[in-house]
Amino acid sequence: MEQDYTHIKDLLNLKEVGTVKSIRGWIWRIRSSGGVVFAIIRDSTGIIQVTVSKKNIDEKKYNEIEKALVESSIEVTGTLYEDKRAPNGLEIHVTNFNLVHKAENFPIFKDQNEAFLLDNRHLTIRSTDLTNIFKIKSTILKGAKKYFDDNLFFEVTPPIITGNACEGGATLFSFDYFGNKAYLSQSAQLYLESLIYSLENVWSITPSFRAEKSRTRRHLTEFWILEAEEAWTPLAKNIKIQEDLMTTICETVIKERANELEQLHRDIEILKNINPPFRKIKYEKAIQILSDKGFDIHWGDDFGAEEEHALTIDEQEPIFVTHYPAEIKAFYMKLSDDGKTVENADLLAPEGFGEIIGGSERSNDIEYMKKRLINENADVSKYDWYFDLRRFGNVTHSGFGVGVERVTRWIAKAEHIRDTIPYPRTTNRYTP
């Protein structure tokens, strides 16, 4: 069948009842009754019901479609009719079709256990929920890119193979690099910092690898990190940039993915009400809020999923928690005037989701950073190149890293972070 194919979304939008159209896609549901086969076809844009009537088509062909199984690929041509009983209120009365590939018995169906579904991820990624989430994720990235393009940020391409850690040794994946030890990148930050001296504002999206042993609903060992680094920028301006970025992302998603959000039963109002500035509280205050809520927590303790849940469950908008104790944050963060806290901010998503962005103003004190690295048993000599950045034209600068799957999980209100990435990597899984 050599002709123009229409995407299903366009059929639904145009509602050109009475016209003959061709579509192609995959059989999502199929049944027959009284000499009529009812199939629902899906393509990347939507679903539509098609009916094949025994009396309109030759017998051999009718038998072929009657026996077709779900996930078979198919091209169909027919006339568009209105039908209130059909999903979306439209159906195609088929005059001709081509069963492109007859699928075998599809092994995936409702209520199977999680391990089986993950073993068959290459097939389960076709599911409606995952498809909707991946579309939303794609639009989140589009919104982010739009923000950066409109605000004089240059996209850059940092390395993934690295010789030193950015976020500490505990979660480093190392491997043999022609006889030397190398690491998979945890963050592009140090490289982004090196690029601000010429490009001023830069951003990148790279995979981030972290040997996180904790098995939670929000940790992956491989995830995507969207990072920005800005010259001439203290903490307050860095925070403002994050607010504007998140707002652009939410606006883009609302505009383009309302259907997908609705299908996922995501309350869209909460996203519509995202409106900077966001609330800001200091770490110190967060500790007090948590103590008041009954947590046994003290100055110097880090927050885990439970603490961040408690801090954000009653919030409608993201909140910043700023000025954490230096010793629980990375070596590169600028020490505040109090000598105890750092000029940092974590952005926590509301509704209990917790951290989605980590960012800070960067230290310009080489000796302080060296001391911090020595305390962490890091090989300071590996950071010489990074300290050079402070030796040649250093300026006040800041940056941040957005966990793309964390943001997607919040915006789509996904149960688990693994639902936001096609092939989730965790401590006990790296295949398929």
Q: Interface with ligand 4AD by CB under 6 A: which residues? A: 166-167, 187, 189, 210, 212, 219-220, 223, 225, 227, 355-359, 399-401, 403, 405-406
Q: Which is nearer to ligand 4AD, 37 or 348 (CB)?
A: 348
Q: Segment near Mg ion (CB under 5 A), from 96-104, 123-131, 263-271, 350-358?
A: 350-358
State which residue has the least CB distance to Mg ion. Answer: 358
Q: Three-class SS of residue 247?
A: helix
CA angle centred on 149, ends 147 and 153, rounded to 5°? 95
Span interacting with Mg ion, options 112-120, 229-237, 241-249, 355-363, rule CB under 5 A: 355-363
Give the C-alpha distances (Å, rounded to integers) separating 345 from 189, 261, 342, 401.
Answer: 15, 29, 9, 11
Which residue, 11 or 228, has its beta carbon nearer to ligand 4AD?
A: 228
CA distance 336 to 344: 9
In this structure, are residues 77 and 22 in contact, taking their beta carbons and an 8 Å threshold?
yes
**Which CA distances in Å does 1 have to 39, 42, 78, 144?**
19, 18, 13, 40
Q: Amino acid identity of 279? A: R
- Nearest approach in angstroms of CB 166 to ligand 4AD is 5
- Alpha-carbon span 127 to 120, nearest angstrom: 12
DSSP string, 31-85: EEETTEEEEEEEETTEEEEEEEEGGGS-HHHHHHHHH--TT-EEEEEEEEEE-TT
Nearer to ligand 4AD, 167 or 260 (CB): 167
CB 344 → Mg ion: shortest distance, Å?
Answer: 9
The helix or strand, by DSSP H or E, that contains position 223, with its residue range, turns out to be strand 222-231
Q: Is the Cβ of residue 7 or residue 425 nearer to ligand 4AD in the bound state?
A: 425
CB of 332 to ligand 4AD, least distance (A): 8
Shortest reach from residue 177's CB to ligand 4AD, in Å: 22
Is 403 among the residues that bind Mg ion (CB under 5 A)? no
For ligand 4AD, the closer CB: 217 or 272: 217
**401 contact choice in Mg ion, ligand 4AD, none (CB below 5 to 8 Å, kind-dependent):** ligand 4AD
Q: Which is nearer to ligand 4AD, 10 or 327 (CB)?
A: 327
* Closest distance of CB 355 from Mg ion, Å: 6
Least Å distance, CB 89 to ligand 4AD, is 40
Give me the residue label for tokens 């966001």.
Answer: 278
CA-to-CA distance for 129 and 356, rounded, in angstroms? 22
358 near Mg ion, judged by CB under 5 A: yes
Alpha helices in 273-326 (DSSP H): 283-292, 305-312
Q: How far is the CB of 86 from ligand 4AD (least distance, A)?
A: 40
For ligand 4AD, the closer of residues 46 and 143 by Cβ is 143
Rg (CA), the chain: 26
Q: List residues binding Mg ion (CB under 5 A).
A: 358
